[in-house]
């Protein structure tokens, strides 16, 4: 960088010359790239929530899966109700596609936070997801 005093470069001989400012085009491109990266990360989190094997689920979740496959009876009246996916953590599907089931939590006086959400017909589910934090996150259940 030219540091000689000149009326054209604004340098007065005493202070360091200011750093060049990024062009507005560069700043806009950087902002767009940051937004795109954040959007992709959000999309990836929503579309690929991770996986958990049946073998690594808590025993209560495995029991709930067996009840789902056999059609019940379920211990909680809300088991099998439509899950509306308001959190948009699962793939968008038609209303009624997803159903929720309670996974009992030992020593809890309420239903607790653990759930299994399955998609498809009630007795012919095509996909199930486990949430241990009341729908804040889901992991796809795999064999």
Examine the residue annotation and report whether 100 is marked as an active-site residue of this protein: yes
Same domain, 134 and 68: yes
Q: Tell me which of 66, 69, 134, 142 is the catalytic residue.
A: 134
pLDDT number for residue 114: 97
Cα-Cα-Cα-Cα dihedral sign, residues 54, 103, 64, 117:
negative
The yes-or-no answer on residue 107 being catalytic is: no
**125 and 68 in one domain?**
yes
Residues 122 and 54 in one domain: yes
Residue 6 has a pLDDT of 54
For residue 47, the surrounding DSSP H or E stretch is helix 24-47
Place of tokens 């589910």: 125
Find out whether 128 and 141 touch, Cβ atoms under 8 Å.
yes
- 70 and 136 share one domain: yes
Cα distances (Å, whole numbers) of residue 1 to 6, 9, 127: 13, 10, 62
Q: What is the pTM of this model?
A: 0.64
Q: Which position among 46, 66, 69, 100 bears the catalytic label?
A: 100
Same domain, 68 and 83: yes
Whether residues 75 and 127 fall in one domain: yes
Contacts of 115 (CB under 8 A, 6+ apart): 100, 101, 102, 103, 130, 131, 134, 135
Model pLDDT, residue 126: 87
- Are 73 and 137 within one domain? yes
Per-10-residue mean pLDDT, the chain, length 143:
55 59 58 49 45 96 95 94 94 94 93 95 86 95 92
Count structural domains, the chain.
Answer: 2
Question: What pLDDT score was predicted for residue 139?
Answer: 96
Q: Which domain holds residue 31?
A: 1-47
The answer on 68 and 138 residing in a single domain is yes
């Amino acid at each position: 960088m030219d540091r000689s005093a000149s009326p054209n470069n604004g340098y007065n001989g005493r202070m360091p010359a200011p750093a060049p400012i990024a062009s507005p085009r560069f700043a806009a491109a950087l902002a767009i790239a940051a937004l795109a990266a954040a959007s992709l990360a959000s999309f990836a989190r929503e579309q690929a929530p991770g996986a958990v094997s049946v073998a690594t689920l808590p025993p209560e979740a495995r029991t709930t899966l067996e009840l789902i496959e056999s059609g019940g009876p379920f211990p909680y009246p809300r088991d099998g109700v439509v899950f509306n996916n308001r959190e948009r953590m699962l793939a968008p599907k038609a209303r009624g596609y997803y159903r929720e089931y309670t996974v009992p939590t030992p020593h809890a006086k309420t239903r607790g936070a653990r759930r299994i959400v399955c998609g498809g017909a009630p007795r012919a589910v095509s996909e199930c997801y486990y949430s241990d934090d009341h729908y804040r996150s889901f992991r796809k259940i795999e064999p």
